[in-house]
Amino acid sequence: MMAIFAEFAACKKSGASADSAEAQAHVAKLQAHITDNYYTCTDEILSGLGKMYVADERFKKNIDKYGEGTSEFASEAIEIYSRGK
């Protein structure tokens, strides 16, 4: 799962926006990974996780080790993805 956050970091670093096709593909990949390995990750659950990735310092610190602001970028991309469905 952390490899997906590394992909979010690379996406952000490339200058892509959270609503870009690339960022949105990473969100879909994250949701599928969670569903395939842990539990059914609905859009509602995914949205809550995205918020937690920035609100909980433990998650934020862990995700941001791939690049400062990665947690915020992923959270924003998740929110856009969840609203767009």
Question: Total structural domains in the chain?
Answer: 1
Looking at the domain assignment, is residue 58 inside a domain? yes
Looking at the domain assignment, is residue 43 inside a domain? yes
Other Cβ atoms within 10 Å of 80 Cβ, number? 17
pLDDT of residue 85: 62
Looking at the domain assignment, is residue 15 inside a domain? no
pLDDT of residue 84: 86
Q: At what angle do helices 57-64 and 43-55 cross, to 10 degrees?
A: 90
Other Cβ atoms within 10 Å of 14 Cβ, number? 10
Structural domain boundaries, residue 50:
2-10+21-83
pLDDT of residue 2: 96
Looking at the domain assignment, is residue 65 inside a domain? yes
Summarised one tens digit per residue, pLDDT across range 26-85 is 999 999 999 999 999 999 999 999 999 999 999 999 999 999 999 999 999 999 999 986
